[in-house]
Amino acid sequence: MEKSGIDYATLDVFTKEKFTGNQLAVVHIPETGLSQELKQAIAAEFDYSETTFVEKAKGEEGNVWNLNIFITTAELPFAGHPVIGTACYVLSALENENQEIVKGAFLTKAGRVELEYDPAKGTAQAAIPHNIHIHEAPYLKNDLKRLQPSVGRLPEASPVVSIVKGMTFVLVELDSLDSLQFVNTTPYHVNTPFDEGWGDSFAACYLYYKLPSSDSNSRNVRLRTRMIESGLEDAATGSAACTLSSYLSMVEGKAGETVKYEITQGVEMGRRSQIFVDIKLDGKNKVETVHLSGGAVQVMEGKLFV
């Protein structure tokens, strides 16, 4: 008797080279649906930093899908590399003989995400939902030293920034690439006081170093980064890249301008990733749009039996 199963694929994201970038599992939700408990169990079984569950959205015209994003222990409202990886996967599968830009959208817990896929380049771009909030209390050096005792020079205070409710990062600027090399995973969680109404959030450290810019007006910014949370280092973190880019643009940019960021992450893990973020500021120096882009390459496909 032939077994039926649930289709899935795995991809390496923010790369065009297999076995680099950040791993992602994409699971097709069957017509019978999947319970929240089963989605969580499947995500734990893959044991990747994130697993997505995708299905065509009912009542929506065009290329629109419902997208659920899970880490091994919880569901996330939004995450960057799952959005880019899943977008490359589902949009590249659509017939497109003329190699024209393919448009679509994901419906996520953080809101609707508009998508574009460029078949010629093999890259996807996502208009990221955002509600940038800089928390009043920074993360202090003594607390950071507990997480990163091997890093010699740490800032006295680091901003705590949420890109949406439920997704928060401590943004730690380091003084050199050498300092970035000494970053390690930690058994401790990031414990920081959130502003009222912003609690119950995923929180992690995003450590970065600004590389010399090739643009004299500094509107093209190059960064090297590492993302650390308890027991985990992530090879590519789109949500953190968008958070950091938004914060830097608000602090260092000029009203009305667009700043482009090229972020390299995962080098120390042997999974080099290239993340691209464009931030447009409005006339009041607030973030108007956030566009995240990158490539992905499929590695495996198969069936889940549950």
Does 253 score more than 70 pLDDT?
yes
pLDDT, average across residues 238-262: 95
Mean pLDDT confidence for 84-94 = 96
- Give the C-alpha separation, 280 to 146, whole Å: 36
Q: What pLDDT was estimated at residue 4?
A: 79
pLDDT at residue 215 is higher than 70 = no
Strand partners, 281: 287
pLDDT at 214 over 60: no
Instruction: Return d(Cα 277, Cα 293) in angstroms, integer.
Output: 6
Tens digit of each residue's pLDDT (9 = 90 or more) over 92-113: 999 776 778 999 999 999 999 9
DSSP state letters, the chain? -PPP-EEEEEEEES-SSTTSSEEEEEEEPPTT---HHHHHHHHHHHTSSEEEEEEEPTT--SSEEEEEEE-SSSEES--HHHHHHHHHHHHHTS--TT---EEEEEEETTEEEEEEEETTTTEEEEE-----EE-SSPEEHHHHHHH-TT-S---SEE-EEEEETTEEEEEEE-S-HHHHHT----SS----PPPTT--S-EEEEEEEEEPPPSSTTS-EEEEEEEEEETTEEES--HHHHHHHHHHHHHHHS-TT-EEEEEEEE-GGGT--EEEEEEEEE-TTS-EEEEEEEEEEEEEEEEEE--
Q: Which residues pair with 303 in a beta bridge?
A: 7
Give pLDDT, residue 1.
41
Which of the residues 31, 37, 45, 50 is marked catalytic?
Answer: 50
Q: Are 70 and 43 contacting, i.e. CB atoms less than 8 angstroms apart?
A: yes
Q: Are 303 and 6 in contact (CB under 8 A)?
A: yes
Is 24 in contact with 82 (CB distance < 8 Å)? Answer: yes
Of 215 and 4, the one with more pLDDT: 4
Rounded to an integer, the average pLDDT of 2-26 is: 93
Percentage of the chain surpassing pLDDT 90?
89
Determine the Cα–Cα distance for residues 291 and 280; give it in Å rounded to an integer.
Answer: 9
The stretch 207-211 carries a mean pLDDT of: 96
Q: Is the pLDDT of residue 70 over 60?
A: yes
Tell whether the model's pLDDT for residue 219 goes beyond 90.
no
The domain made up of 133-293 has a fold known as Diaminopimelate Epimerase; Chain A, domain 1 (3.10.310)
Flag whether pLDDT at 266 surpasses 80: yes
Cα-to-chain-centroid distance, residue 292: 9
The share of the chain scoring above pLDDT 70, in percent, equals 97
Q: CATH 3.10.310.10 in the chain: give the residue spans.
A: 6-127+296-304, 133-293
Cβ neighbours of 167 (radius 10 Å) = 24
Query: What CATH homologous superfamily does 6-127+296-304 map to?
Result: Diaminopimelate Epimerase; Chain A, domain 1 (3.10.310.10)
More confident call, 215 vs 221: 221
Exposure b/e, 54-86, CB count within 10 A at least 16 = b: bbebeeeeebbbebbbbbbeeebbbbbbbbbbb
Q: How far apart are CA 175 and CA 182, in angstroms?
A: 12
Judge whether residue 201 has pLDDT over 80.
yes
Band of residue 276 on the pLDDT scale cut at 50, 70, 90: very high
pLDDT digits (tens, 9 = 90+) for 154-186: 999 999 999 999 999 999 999 999 999 999 999
233 is catalytic: no
Q: What is the identity of the amino acid at 206?
A: Y
Residue 2 has pLDDT above 60, yes or no: no
Is the pLDDT reported for residue 190 higher than 50?
yes
* Tokens 């050096």, residue located: 141
Contact indicator for 7, 267 with CB cutoff of 8 Å: no
Give the closest residue to 290 by CA, choosing from 275, 269, 301.
Answer: 275
**Location of structure tokens 């990163």:** 148
